[in-house]
Amino acid sequence: MDKKLLLVVFPVVFTANIFLLDFNTTIIAMPSIIDEFDLSLRLASWIILSASIVMTAGLMPIGRIADLLSRKFFYILSLFISLLGIIFASYASNVYLLILSKTISAVGTTGTL
């Protein structure tokens, strides 16, 4: 494989797997999250739904912003935003902060798609 192509493909595939892992671990941890925060299923579903809605609704506008800015800069900025959301989610003290942090992480994830 061409070395330049590998330098582009590897980071993209690696970050896609990291975000997939983040999403899947949230789903796997959902029973523990429900018990820890004593949540109803209606409120617990918003942990996943908030990220899904933001990613779906934000794909077109965020793609346009990435076209206007440097794509490399926007990709790195999106990684940073997503990392902040993941860190905030790990320290969330209530469900509303967890939903907010997963939403922030979804904004960053959308920027890398």
pLDDT at res. 1? 65
pLDDT at res. 80? 94
- For residue 113, give the nearest of 23, 4, 1 by alpha carbon: 23
pLDDT at res. 111? 87
Percent of the chain with pLDDT over 70: 99
Q: Tens of pLDDT along 57-70?
A: 998 998 888 888 88
Q: Tens of pLDDT along 44-95?
A: 999 999 999 999 999 899 888 888 888 888 889 999 999 999 999 999 999 9
Distance between CA atoms of residues 97 and 82, nearest Å: 15
Residues in Cβ contact with 30 at an 8 Å cutoff, skipping those fewer than 6 apart: 44, 47, 48
Place of tokens 């990291």: 18
Distance between CA atoms of residues 10 and 25, nearest Å: 22
pLDDT of 32 > 90? The answer is yes
Place of tokens 């070395």: 3
Distance between CA atoms of residues 69 and 87, nearest Å: 26
Kindly report the average pLDDT of the chain as a whole number. Answer: 89
pLDDT at res. 21? 87
